[in-house]
Every structure is written in C-alpha cells, then in structure tokens.
Structure 1
Amino acid sequence: MTSYRVPAERDPARPAADRPLTVVVDGEPVTGTAGQTIAGVLLGAGRREWRTTAPGGAPRGVFCGIGVCFDCLVEVNGLRDVRACLRRAQDGDVVTRQGGPGEDR
C-alpha cells in the first residue's frame, strides 16, 4: 500500500525532508517516517491486522483511526494496550502483536 504524496515543489506547506525511522515488529524491522503513528507505519508496510480478539481469534487492525474503538491495540516496548492509531512511532520502538484481553503472555 502506498500513499499519495504531493511533490515537494508543489506542496504549499513546504514540508521538511523525510526522516526515516525503524521499528521492530514481531522481530522484523519495519521502516517508516518520523511523525507517523505506529498504525501508519504498519499500514505502510502492508500490514492490515496486528491483533486478535479473545473470543474466536478474529483479526483486528485500524478501524476508527482516532482512538475510540481499541481495535488497533499493540504492545510497545513492553507496555500492553497501546492504541497504534494514537502513538507516534519512535526510532527503535519494539512492537508486538497483541491478543485479546487477559491473554497469557
């Protein structure tokens, strides 16, 4: 999945150059750009699901994208229940898939 980007020379906001970052997702390095949320990095890498529900193991990823629904929960640097759509990715973050509530780890 790729996003549409306005060429820098035509962008009225005059963005600065991209600053790449790398997060480790389930042991695999994934690259993104500074300022992206964890969900944005994951979606940019082609990942559409990164959590499962407790009853039945149904796959979940981004649903609302604004932090209301809790479908995008992940573990970040050992902290569970982080909403990937709200948390800005930091270079070196360790992100782990998360199962449903109460799942033993």
Structure 2
Amino acid sequence: MTQAQRHGQGAGRLVRLSELERPHVGFCLDGTDREALAGDTVLTAVLSVRTGVRRSEFGPENRAGFCLMGACQDCWIWQEDGTRLRACSTYLVEGMRLTTTEPEGWLR
C-alpha cells in the first residue's frame, strides 16, 4: 500500500497535507479494514477514505457533516453493535467497528 493510499488521498473527500507522521489507528468501516491517524475524529477518518459519512434520510445524496461541532445531527453514524454516535465530535479509537447504514429496526 502506498502512503497516498494509506492516508486515503484521492479516495475520499478529505486529503491529508500535513501531520502524516502521527501514529496509525485501525478501524473497520462497513466491513472493510481502514486506517486513520491518532487524534482523528470519526468524521475525519471516514471522509479520508470516502466521500460521505452516510446516506440522507430524505434522498439519495451522501451526507458529509454540516456544522462540524455536534449540533446539526448530519453526521450520525453507527457502531456495529447499534450504538449511534456523532462522527464530528467522537474521537476514533483503535478497533472501532463502524457502519454507515442504520441498523435494522432503527427508529428515527
């Protein structure tokens, strides 16, 4: 894997330009093993490898966060155990298992 691929350059909405030497943190996103950097929020980690964090409830568009401070509820994402979290204000933890689709039976 090249350094550009490891950091998601060219694959996601965000492209890292600096701080590339921070320790790596492994996580799983929709069943695929990924890497981010220590100190990243879940939103930063996801948008480094994808163009969106989840699908909109109101149409086919991908959502990528809006306010980036935990107020708008645009960046909700789920852990595989069904726990919902705000991607913009939750720090990534080694081994997190995340899913961008709501669990079956999830109530809005």
Deviations 1:6-49 (A, max 9, x none): 79xxxxxxxxx51111110000011011111011111222x121
Deviations 1:68-102 (A, max 9, x none): 11111100242433110111001100000134xx9
Higher radius of gyration, 1 or 2: 1
Q: Per the alignment, do residues 62 and 55 of structure 1 end up closer, same or farther by CA in structure 2, a change over 3 Å counting?
A: closer
How far, CA to CA, are the matches of 2:96 and 2:38 in structure 1?
Answer: 12
Query: Residue in 1 aligned with 2:105?
Result: 104
Count residues in correspondence: 93
Q: Per the alignment, do residues 57 and 103 of structure 1 end up closer, same or farther by CA in structure 2, a change over 3 Å counting?
A: farther
Residue 54 of structure 1 contacts residue 103 of structure 1 at CA under 8 Å; is this kept in 2?
Answer: no
Query: Residue in 2 aligned with 1:73?
Result: 76
Runs of 4+ residues deviating >4 angstroms: none
Provide the aligned C-alpha RMSD in A: 2.5
Query: Residue in 1 aligned with 2:39?
Result: 35
State the SS of the aligned residue for 2:105. coil
After TM superposition, the score normalised by the length of structure 1 is 0.73
Q: Percent identity?
A: 24
Residue 76 of structure 1 contacts residue 96 of structure 1 at CA under 8 Å; is this kept in 2?
Answer: yes
Correspondence for 1:5 among 7, 11, 18: 18
Unaligned runs of 5+ in 1: 8-16
How far, CA to CA, are the matches of 1:59 and 1:38 in structure 2?
Answer: 16
